Amino acid sequence: MPSLSGLLILDKPRGWTSHDAVAWLRRRVKTRQVGHAGTLDPAAEGVLVVAVGSATRLLPYLQEADKQYVAHVVLGVETTTDDLEGEITAITEATPPSQADVEATLQRFQGEIVQVPPRFSAIKVDGTPLYRRARAGQDVSAPPRRVTISRLSLLFYHYPDLVVVVDCSKGTYVRSLARDIGAALGTGGYLHGLVRTRVGRFTLAQAWTIDELEAGLSPETWSLFALPPEDALSAGPALILSEQDEAAWYHGSPVRLSAPAVPDLLARVYTHDGYWAGLARPASTGRWRPVLVTGQ
C-alpha cells in the first residue's frame, strides 16, 4: 500500500486536546507522520485541520490561515483561565449593559488590536509554558501581541449571555477577547463556549466527527475521507510544468511559467501529466521559484 498523504478536516470534540486528536488519528491510520494546523483548547470544539504523510510539509502555510469562531461569552464573572475551565476570581453585580452598549463595544475590538494572551496558555516565556508557571503560583504574563479582528458580529445577547462571530488572524486568543470585552463593558467576562467554524478555506461543514471516522476510517479507506494536500492552497494560481521544465524544478531552480505574479501569493505547481509537484513564489518576470518540492 502506498504511504498515506493528505488533509483530514476534523470536528474536534470538546474535552479533547489537539494532541489527543493527532494521537487518535495516528493509531487509526497506523502512521506516525501526523500533525495539525493550529491548536484548539480542550474546552473548544470545531475545525481542526490535520495533515498526514507528506502533507505535513504544508503545516507552516496552513498555520498562517485566518480563523472563524462562534464564541459564547458570559458577562459578570471572571476566571483564572479566562474560560470555564478556571476558578472564579470575581463576580460583578453590575447593571446589565444595553444591547447598544454591547454593539458599540464590539466595534472597538475590530481591526488591529493589542492583546495579552491568557496566563494559562501554552506560550513559552524563558522556555517554559505559561500554564506551568501559573499552576506553580508564579505571577507571569505573556508579552502583548498584535492581532487582527476582521469581523466581530453580535449573534445573541441576553445578559449575562453574549454570543458573537469572530473572524481573526492567526495567534488570536478568543479567551482574551472575551475577557477584554467584559472589562470594557465594566462587568468582567469569560469564555464559556467556543466553536471554530473555519480555518482558511476549510469549514465545519467539511469536517468529520469522531463518530463518523470511528465507523469507517482505516488506512484502506483513507482516500475516501482525506483531501489532496494541495487543496490547502487552492486560492492561488495553478501552474503546469512542461516536460522540459520538470528537471529544473526538481533541482530547485526557478522555472519560466506564464501566469500573473502576485507578491506573497503561493502557486500550486503540477507536472505535465497532472501530479502535484509543490509550491512556488514569483522570482522575477515570468519565473517562479520553488518553495516546496514534492516527491517525483
For the chain, the straight-line distance linking the first and the last C-alpha, in angstroms and rounded, comes to 18
C-alpha–C-alpha distance, residues 37 and 19, integer Å: 11
Is residue 41 annotated as a catalytic residue, yes or no? yes
192 touches 174 (CB < 8 A): no
53 touches 62 (CB < 8 A): no
Q: Which amino acid is at 235?
A: A
- Residue positions counted in the chain: 296
Among 11, 20, 41, 66, the one annotated catalytic: 41
Residue ranges of alpha helices (H) inside the chain are 18-29, 59-62, 99-108, 130-135, 174-185, 210-216, 222-225, 243-250
- Reported in sequence order, the residue ranges of the chain that DSSP labels E, i.e. its strands, are 6-12, 34-36, 44-52, 67-75, 77-79, 88-91, 111-115, 124-125, 128-129, 145-158, 161-168, 189-199, 202-203, 238-240, 255-256, 267-270, 276-284, 287-293
Catalytic residues: 41
